[in-house]
Amino acid sequence: MLKTKKRYKRGYPVAILVGLEDTAVLWNVFSNVAKHEKTLHINGTRNNPKDLYNFHESIINALRPTLKEGVRSIILASPARTNHHQELINHVREHHKWLTKGPNKAAFSKITGSATTPPQVAALTRTPIFRQLISETTEEETENLIEILEKRINTTDNNNLVLFSLEEAENLILKRQKPNEPKPEYLILTDRYLAENRQKSRLHRLMQIAANRKVKTRIINAESPAGKRLTQLGGLICLAQLE
């Protein structure tokens, strides 16, 4: 499923993998490849509570740009006989409740293993347990997105807008927003919609411009519960909100 060889197309974003030891190595996990993003070093030791707090804060800060792009599935890996992944989860629960509650919450999972070098990541991402974890974590994340979608569909609030076609999404995302106009927040589509769309260049252009304009873009497995619901709605939706 996931490889680290550069000759493969990276595919679409799936999750963030964080390898935790005395360093934190962040990897952007795409559908075809895991790409190194950043390496962070602890300034001090894990035994010093202040040093560990600052280290965890640096990890959260490093995650923010990818989170803002819409990827909110995070897998934490640490070697056997360590508890580094749970320590980070505890830190998030205590100091970053915005990541565990509300509409922008992230889905955290943990796995035992090393993920600080390309060979380690290649080996880890090939394991059945990792693939299962990816499936479960992204499903939790996308269920959160569908929950937002259902609330928008069933609201009478004129400040929220749900668009169900490529043309409508283009009309909103490609033009420059004026004051008092809805601002696009999410562009969500299934992997099947992406694969089977006959106007791929048009769709990829929209996705690229959406990303450039900070619209959270997510591609969902069509066979997941969230993907099946999205397929019922046409396979692509765009959520917008009046600020």
Return the CATH fold of 155-241.
60s Ribosomal Protein L30; Chain: A; (3.30.1330)
238 with 163: CB under 8 angstroms? yes
> Does CATH number 3.30.420.60 belong to domain 13-142?
yes
pLDDT digits (tens, 9 = 90+) for 30-39: 888 899 999 9
The model's pTM = 0.76
Q: Which helix (H) or strand (E) holds 186?
A: strand 183-190
pLDDT digits (tens, 9 = 90+) for 206-221: 998 998 888 988 898 8
State the Cα–Cα distance between residues 59 and 131, nearest whole angstrom.
Answer: 24
More confident position, 173 or 1: 173
pLDDT digits (tens, 9 = 90+) for 67-124: 888 888 999 999 999 999 999 999 999 999 999 887 678 999 999 999 999 999 999 9
Show me where the domains of the chain are located.
13-142, 155-241
